[in-house]
Amino acid sequence: MSVLTACQQAAVKLNQTQPSSVFSTTDPFAVQLALAANEAAEAILSGYDWQKLKTLATFTGDGATEAFDMPADYARMPKKAKVHSTTWQNALFVQATDEDDWLYTKDIGITGTPGKWIILGGQFQVFPAMPVGETARFYYISNKIIGASATALTKTSFTDDTDVLFLNEKLLRLGIIWRWRADRRMEYAEDLTNFEIAMAEEYGGDKGSRNLTVGRVRVPGSVDTAYPGTITP
């Protein structure tokens, strides 16, 4: 379903005339729908860590570089993202707690293996510089949520009537409806609830299956290996 179709369906729910276009017209209602559609897409993107939008970033060390530009389509990291080293088996880079912690680490010049990381100034920064051949890898959420089809994502916002969203277009239609009514200072609470329910249902299917553990868990899933190597006498 295209963004135009979603807007036309929303128009029916809003008791308005269906527009023949929303991106090649100056009709006020169509322009309002186009704006609401892009705002809805932004909310859908930021609402969850969608599996379809997760992309692997890899930065390779050269022995000197400490700051790497983020991918062009970088939106954000998943809420529980970790940065993995390929040199140190099962070892993770430690995230700096804040900018002060980062400055303190660089000032004293001491950190654990393989090092610390932070995102500053739109760059992925690591200390110390990774040796030649070592890589830091992590998943991020791409900002390309729109395209010519739901599997060919090339855009960050709707610009053409034929553009489609990466997820179930029902989310787009519901998002357009509640945002249009909210902008007009009309009652929209029920419409917002419908949108939130649809988001939760879509995300439930997006995550895939989960392992069911019966009994007590001996090692919590969030625990990392204290030392990834082998200690010999």
pLDDT in tens, 126-153: 999 999 999 999 999 999 999 887 667 8
Query: Are 18 and 42 members of one domain?
Result: yes
**Per-residue pLDDT at 231 exceeds 80:** no
Is the residue at 158 inside a domain? no
Encode pLDDT of 82-94 as tens digits: 999 988 766 899 9
Nearest Cα neighbor of 177 from 13, 1, 2 is 13
Task: Check residue 120 and give its pLDDT.
Answer: 95
SS3 category, 196: helix
Query: Are 39 and 71 members of one domain?
Result: no
Task: Check residue 232 and give its pLDDT.
Answer: 47
Is the residue at 211 inside a domain? no
Is the residue at 11 inside a domain? yes
Query: Token pair for residue 103?
Result: 């400055």
Query: Are 64 and 42 members of one domain?
Result: no
DSSP β-bridge partners for residue 116: 94, 127
Query: Are 38 and 59 members of one domain?
Result: no
- The pTM is what? 0.81
Query: Token pair for residue 18?
Result: 């269906």
Is the residue at 103 inside a domain? yes
Is the residue at 69 inside a domain? yes
Query: Token pair for residue 15?
Result: 């008791």
The beta strand positions in the chain, using DSSP E, are: 54-60, 67-69, 74-76, 83-85, 92-95, 116-120, 123-127, 135-142, 146-149, 152-155, 164-165
How many other CB atoms sit within 10 Å of the CB of residue 7?
28
Phi, psi of 10 (to 5 degrees): -65, -40
Task: Check residue 230 and give its pLDDT.
Answer: 47
Query: Are 99 and 129 members of one domain?
Result: yes
Is the residue at 219 inside a domain? no
Any idea what the Cα angle at residue 77 is, between residues 76 and 81, rounded to 5°? 175
Q: Are 157 and 144 in contact (CB under 8 A)?
A: no
Query: Are 56 and 29 members of one domain?
Result: no
DSSP annotation of 52:
G
Encode pLDDT of 50-100 as tens digits: 998 999 999 999 999 999 999 999 999 998 889 999 887 668 999 999 999
Query: Are 8 and 41 members of one domain?
Result: yes
Query: Are 72 and 136 members of one domain?
Result: yes
Is the residue at 222 inside a domain? no
Task: Check residue 86 and give its pLDDT.
Answer: 86
Query: Are 43 and 56 members of one domain?
Result: no
Nearest Cα neighbor of 75 from 123, 141, 120 is 141
**Per-residue pLDDT at 217 exceeds 80:** no
Query: Are 79 and 126 members of one domain?
Result: yes
Query: Are 132 and 82 members of one domain?
Result: yes
**Per-residue pLDDT at 228 exceeds 80:** no
**Per-residue pLDDT at 209 exceeds 80:** no
- Beta strands 83-85 and 135-142, pairing class: antiparallel
Query: Are 129 and 195 members of one domain?
Result: no
- In the chain, % of residues over pLDDT 70: 87
Domain count, the chain: 2
DSSP annotation of 51:
G
Q: Which of 90, 109, 142 is the last residue of a domain?
A: 142
Question: For residue 182, what are the domain limits?
Answer: 3-49+167-206
- Cα 12 to chain centroid distance, Å, stands at 31
DSSP β-bridge partners for residue 117: 95, 126
Sheet holding 152-155, edge to edge: 152-155, 146-149, 164-165
Task: Check residue 152 and give its pLDDT.
Answer: 78
